[in-house]
Structure 1
């Protein structure tokens, strides 16, 4: 009973915050034709970045930039989204492409400098890029007793070799770079630009429900996404303190940059198949009830338009699970659901 009461209290507080921030309309303060939008991670046709680009084109946004590692993928996304919005977008719409490795300080600094000289201002930053990990820790080392191994075959060994431990280290490093290091670097580079050039700045970061609820075969992914979540939430608090401070050498004061952290469950796209750092076997989880890409994008933009910041958990029912997870209830109903979800 005490857990139920606490859960209800937490949910009530969350709903109260949601309601009290819903009166402001950012979309009315910042017309689509004037908004400058940067999407980091948009080189896959069925990805969230591509869907965000399409929606911004449809709503009349004219200044757009997509950034990713694969030049060919970025070009495919741009051409496809421009074709799909033909006759429905602004005739003045332009989609800039920047090929960049967002865990490289040189590439991130070059991106920042290009934005400063070419646009002079950014209003909305979407952090969409990242990687996933889909094996249990022992599976990365090829000694998983349940047979879920990087090699794809069962192992007769009990203890990981040194090479197996090195694979664990490499998986953790790659995951941390893609989900935590990259996010920290781009926010460090672009937040000052948002604070000093936009009247209505905003940052949207795509996290994951994996950063809220532990899951089997997702230990490394859950850990790095949880780290990303706390990074974003902590930086949001830092931005509150920085708002109103003087920009050195001027009489200008920094704007407050609000954050929206989106934590979706599994999505029906190729993210897991293409961006897993520890296996190439594709997702093993049950994706019949996975979210549609457009569903996530619509919900995200609705929150941004209404200036409803904080954390958006999708689907909304998973919010209950995330709260239960904080109460260490994962060995019960949540734990059973996770085992069924990931077939482990």
Structure 2
């Protein structure tokens, strides 16, 4: 305190009394401490203190698409050194390519974290044994049953499950039926007003195909792996890669938005059911089931090739609808950013819905209060 008073005297500032100086000093300390405490709180990752990174067993469903979110998640988990990583998709060749990149990331991660350990062929062999590829159709019950048995045999349990698979749909409902008055198809009869039998069948097939993967596939996988999460991990987590289309009405995405909304509702309902599972008293002195943390990520448009999975387009043609964000040059999310935010949320025990970008969370409230505002924005976004 004497030092402060002498410094003030040197520069010609009136010297306050000791009590005033103490009060000002306290305010400064509090002013510095509170922001630091808040910053620490929002950057902390409490889950990795309970599920150590080097002990975490991760399963990613839908990891075979190059430069997709599933691949981005796999690369980041491999780099940080999870104990076991299982990659699942329908394309085994694509999975093997992702695995190769995961091994490269794992070795780079070791170089960064443990520079005294020079990675080489031995390190490659080690990573090859802990990163697994399993080809399976996640919408096929027989495949998922086989997958569950293989996961149990390979890694003896599961800590973190990521559901990343899905299909898109890019046409307005009447566009699928072939009678869209706004965007007429090349072969569409301009005088045609009502959908014929083939048009209605096309709508039915598009809805069935999208629902079979996005809704039924998610339900099958949750039914298969939820008991494993509950009984083999102390702090299990399951993450659904959903979509902003599950939260907002989206013109030209009616079929896709409907299936994603149904998928999200299914996921949230199962989360409530899981809470009841954890409260059941086990018989025969067995361990009680763990409480699973359910997290839904609802991103806006991501710069991936996901559009090519559309169930309502002619895949023999290379052209895509002109309203897409990548055609208009809009700023899009990257798979790396989405994966990074997802893993961070899991590490923080985050539950519920996380929107990307975060401003979409505010938009959901606007949609409840002033739905006409978000409807106008949606029509502008999709130019419909």
Partner of 1:285: 324
Is 1:162 aligned with 2:233?
no
Q: Identify, as 1 or 2, the structure richer in helix.
A: 2
Distance 2:152 2:292 in 1: 18
Does residue 134 (structure 1) correspond to residue 170 (structure 2)? The answer is yes
**Length-normalised TM-score, structure 2:** 0.79
Deviation string, structure 1 residues 259-279 (Cα, Å, up to 9, x no partner): 00000011011111x211101
User: Which stretch of the first structure deviates more once superposed, 65-74 or 88-97?
Assistant: 88-97
What corresponds to 2:114 in structure 1? Answer: none
1:322 matches 2:356:
no
Cα distance in 1, alignment partners of residues 153 and 235 from structure 2: 20
Contact 1:136 1:148 in 2 (8 A): no
* Corresponding residue for residue 13 of structure 1: none
Cα deviation 1:110-143 (Å, max 9, x = unaligned): 1111122222110000000011111001000111
Superposed CA deviations along residues 231-260 of structure 1, whole A, max 9, x for unmatched, are 111111111111042455552111111100
Q: How many residues align?
A: 322
Could you say if the C-alpha distance between residues 246 and 111 of structure 1 is closer, same or farther in structure 2, counting changes exceeding 3 Å? farther
Judge conservation of contact 1:213–1:321 (CA < 8 Å) in 2.
Answer: no
1:145-165 deviations in Å (ceiling 9; x for gaps)? 01254x575643111110000
**TM-score, normalised via structure 1 length:** 0.88
Distance 1:195 1:315, change over 3 A: same
User: Which residue does the alignment assign to 2:280?
Assistant: 245
Change (3 A) 1:237 1:156: same
Partner Cα distance (1:152, 1:261) in 2: 40
SS of equivalent residue, structure 1 residue 87: helix
Mind listing any 5+ residue stretches in structure 1 that lack a counterpart? 1-18
Ranges in structure 2 where 5+ consecutive residues have no aligned partner:
1-39, 111-118
Matched, 1:340 2:380: yes
- Tell which structure's C-alpha radius of gyration is larger: 2
Q: Tell me how far apart the structure 2 counterparts of residues 152 and 132 of structure 1 sit (CA, whole Å).
A: 23
Matched residue, 2:235: 200
2:257 aligns to what? Answer: 222
Kindly tell me: are residues 298 and 168 of structure 1, through their superposed partners in 2, closer, same or farther at Cα, counting changes over 3 Å? same
1:294 aligns with 2:328: no
SS at match of 2:85: strand
Q: Cα RMSD (Å) of the superposition? A: 2.1
1:144-155 matches, cutoff 5 A:
144-149=180-185, 155=190
SS in 1 for 2:337: helix
Q: Which residue of 1 aligns with 2:67?
A: 46
> How many angstroms apart in 2 are the aligned matches of 1:148 and 1:336?
22
